[in-house]
């Protein structure tokens, strides 16, 4: 089977990997790059647990062919913390217990980061809209919303 050589900046590092034809970016990240933070909850674009940022846009990586990411800048949950220092979103999810089984958490963190990058002071409705592509079967979402609000406050220095 043909394999494509891909070069991308993943979590700040220039990264090269091979992907077989038809491989999703999600599977390439998990199997070739060894980053298993993004999860496959459905493989059909419905759950958001595979969310990563590609060139600053939140994307369901199960629906992207790996070669499409050639030359792109990719951020996964593993790249959120800054040399051991948790991102405020991570800290607020941790403190607010905005996770239970945690399988959806990487996707929510990425989607929330994408939101706060653009809108540092979102309303609750804006948060719900931004996270509407992410499913969670455990939490009921309330603690996730509170955690995003809290992180936004912190990041605004309030």
Partner 1 sequence: MAVGKTPHRVDAFDKVTGAAAYAADCVPDNALHAVVVFTNQPHARLVGVNFEETLDAPGVVAVVTAADVPVNEYGLTLFDQPVFIGLDDTGRSSVPCDVSRWEADHLAVVVAESLIQARKGASLIRSEWEVLSLVSDAVEAQSDEILVHPNSTSNTYHELRIRKGDIAEGLQSADVVIEGTYQLPHQEHAYLQVEAATAWVDEERRVTIETGGQWVHEDQEQIAHALDVAPEEVRVKYAAIGGAFGGKEDMSLQIVMAVTAKKLTNLGITRPVHCNWNREESIVGHHKRHRATVHARLGATADGIITAVEADVLLDAGAYNYTSNKVLGNLHLSVAGAYNVPNARIDSKAIYTHSVPGGAFRGFGGPQGTFVAESQMNKLASELGIDPLEIRRRNALTDLSDGITQAGLPLGVGVHRVLETCAERAPVDAPLIETLPFKSIASLPAATDQLRQGRGYAVGMKNVGFSFGFPEACEADVVFHGDIDAERPTRIELFHSAAEVGQGVHTALIQMVAEAADIDISNVDATYSDTATGGDSGSASASRLTFMAGNSVLGAVEEAEKSWADGARPALGHFRYKPPATEALDPDTGVGQPNFCYGYMAQALDLTVDIGTGHIRVDRVLSIHDVGKAIHPQMLRGQIEGAIAQAHGYALSEQLIVKDGRVLNPRLSQYLIPGIGDVPAKVECLILEGTDPLGPWGARGVSEMPYITYAPAVTAALHDATGVWMNTFPLTPSVVLEHLTAAKN
- Residue among 44 and 119 whose Cβ is closer to ligand FES: 44
Q: Does 139 bind ligand FES (CB under 6 A)?
A: yes
**Distance (Å, rounded) from C-alpha 99 to C-alpha 139?**
6
- Which distant-in-sequence residues (6+ apart) come within 8 Å of 151 by Cβ? 87, 88, 89, 91, 92, 93, 112, 116
- Residue among 23 and 60 whose Cβ is closer to ligand FES: 60
**Distance (Å, rounded) from C-alpha 83 to C-alpha 16?**
22
- Residue among 74 and 99 whose Cβ is closer to partner 1: 99
- Could you tell me if 8 and 33 are in contact, meaning their C-beta atoms sit under 8 angstroms apart? no
One-character DSSP codes across 22-48? T-BHHHIIIIII----S--S-SSSSS-
**Distance (Å, rounded) from C-alpha 52 to C-alpha 37?**
10
Q: Which of residues 78-107 bind ligand FES (CB under 6 A)?
A: 99-104
- Residue among 58 and 145 whose Cβ is closer to partner 1: 145
Q: Does 88 bind partner 1 (CB under 8 A)?
A: no
- To partner 1, the closest distance from the beta carbon of 67 in angstroms equals 17
Query: For ligand FES, which residue of 138, 142, 154, 156 counts as binding (CB under 6 A)?
Result: 138
- To ligand FES, the closest distance from the beta carbon of 97 in angstroms equals 10
Query: For partner 1, which residue of 6, 10, 24, 41 counts as binding (CB under 8 A)?
Result: 41
- Considering CB under 8 A, how many residues would be counted as binding partner 1? 56
Q: Which of residues 98-127 bind partner 1 (CB under 8 A)?
A: 99-106, 109
- Residue among 64 and 106 whose Cβ is closer to partner 1: 106
In terms of DSSP bridges, do strands 3-10 and 73-75 run parallel, antiparallel, or are they unpaired?
A: parallel
- Which distant-in-sequence residues (6+ apart) come within 8 Å of 158 by Cβ? none
């Amino acid at each position: 089977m043909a394999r494509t050589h891909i070069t991308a900046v993943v979590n700040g590092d220039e990264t090269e990997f091979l992907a077989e034809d038809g491989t999703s970016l999600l599977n390439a990240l998990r199997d070739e790059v060894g980053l298993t933070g993004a999860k496959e909850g459905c493989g059909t674009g419905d759950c958001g647990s595979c969310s990563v940022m590609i060139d600053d846009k939140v994307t369901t990586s199960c629906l992207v062919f790996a070669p499409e990411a050639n030359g792109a800048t990719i951020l996964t949950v593993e790249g959120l913390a800054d040399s051991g220092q948790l991102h405020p979103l991570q800290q607020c999810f941790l403190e607010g217990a905005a996770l239970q089984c945690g399988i959806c958490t990487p996707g929510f963190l990425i989607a929330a980061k994408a939101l706060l990058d653009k809108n540092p002071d979102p309303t609750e409705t804006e948060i719900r809209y931004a996270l509407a592509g992410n499913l969670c079967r455990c939490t009921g979402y309330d603690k996730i919303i509170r955690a995003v609000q809290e992180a936004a406050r912190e990041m605004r220095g309030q």
